[in-house]
């Protein structure tokens, strides 16, 4: 389910909230504006300072990606490659030139164009693997920003708690105010630890998982393109690429291989 990350975060927040209510905590007790400013403002600024403005601008898109990324269509990719293998086997590699422009996926289109241009196999593999490595590096940098935020947030929470306790110690002459003041001071730690473990770390882990899925998908495409260039039998190409597809999805993949129209899937994201 593509919305599993968002659902998981909401379930975690609901569990913590209702658990606190059962222990006697009211929602209004958890609202502390100064603590919010310290934790969220401090985390925001520290993340901006460590990651730079360009990485910071990607945050909304990365949240959207983590919450709604489509699972990789490996079966459809197999069908796409097998369709091209059949055409190349029947009409020759140059026959693919008329179809390259209609391929939606940039990575596949680039690989097929290199095949049509007669690129040396070793050079083709090197170019395409470099493309995969560059994509993986970009994705790693994107996830790193959330990992950094998950480290800054608890620290900002402790900082907020210390500031609150300083205020408490400055008012020891008013013992009737100590309880609420100490309680408010620890709200900052709650915010910091909570947002780090409920939001930032899960999003970072999800972005890494999406990246791994896309690397696997592109590796499948690369092996298929190399097989097309080698002139392998389409049936052999299908069997070779099917090893990338989970057993539970192979029936659908075989159907896509039998009907290339089912393989017209959108471009894989490479943010």
**DSSP for 53-72?**
HHHHHTHHHHHHHHHHPPPP
88-to-75, 91, 109, 128 alpha-carbon distances in Å? 20, 5, 15, 20
Give the model confidence (pLDDT) of 130-150 as tens digits: 999 999 999 999 999 999 999
Region 223-247: mean pLDDT is 89
Region 177-191: mean pLDDT is 80
Residue with tokens 């593509």: 2
Rounded CA separation 132/214 (Å): 9
pLDDT confidence of residue 133 = 95
What 63-71 contacts at long range (C-beta under 8 Å, 24+ apart), as own/partner pairs, is 63/203, 65/207, 65/210, 65/269, 65/271, 66/5, 66/203, 66/206, 66/207, 66/210, 67/2, 67/3, 67/5, 67/6, 68/2, 68/3, 68/6, 69/2, 69/206, 69/210, 69/269, 70/2, 71/2, 71/213
Rounded CA separation 119/44 (Å): 47
pLDDT confidence of residue 25 = 76
CB-based burial of residue 63 (10 Å sphere; 0-12 exposed, 13-18 middle, 19+ buried)? middle
What is the model's pTM? Answer: 0.81
Give the model confidence (pLDDT) of 37-89 as tens digits: 999 999 999 999 988 888 888 899 999 999 988 888 888 888 889 989 998 88
Rounded CA separation 201/44 (Å): 15
Residue 261, pLDDT > 80, answer no
């Amino acid at each position: 389910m593509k919305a599993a990350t968002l659902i998981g975060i909401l379930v975690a927040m609901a569990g913590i909230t209702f658990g606190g209510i059962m222990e006697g905590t009211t929602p209004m007790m958890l609202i502390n504006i100064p603590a919010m400013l310290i934790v969220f403002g401090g985390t925001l600024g520290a993340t901006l300072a460590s990651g730079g403005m360009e990485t910071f601008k990607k945050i909304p898109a990365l949240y959207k990606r983590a919450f709604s990324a489509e699972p990789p269509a490996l079966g459809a990719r197999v069908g796409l490659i097998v369709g091209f293998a059949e055409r190349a086997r029947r009409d020759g590699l140059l026959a693919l030139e008329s179809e390259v422009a209609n391929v939606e996926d940039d990575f596949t289109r680039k690989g097929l164009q290199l095949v049509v241009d007669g690129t040396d196999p070793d050079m083709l593999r090197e170019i395409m693997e470099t493309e995969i490595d560059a994509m993986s590096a970009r994705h790693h940098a994107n996830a790193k920003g959330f990992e950094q935020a998950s480290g800054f947030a608890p620290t900002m929470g402790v900082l907020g708690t210390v500031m609150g306790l300083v205020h408490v110690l400055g008012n020891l002459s008013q013992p009737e105010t100590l309880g609420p003041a100490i309680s408010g001071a620890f709200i900052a730690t709650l915010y910091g630890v909570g947002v780090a473990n409920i939001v930032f770390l899960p999003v970072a882990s999800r972005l890494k998982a999406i990246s791994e899925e896309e690397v696997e998908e592109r590796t499948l495409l690369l092996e298929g393109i190399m097989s097309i260039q080698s002139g392998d039998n389409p049936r052999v190409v299908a069997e070779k690429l099917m090893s990338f597809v989970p057993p539970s999805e192979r029936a659908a993949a075989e159907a896509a291989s039998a009907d290339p129209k089912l393989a017209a899937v959108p471009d894989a994201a490479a943010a």
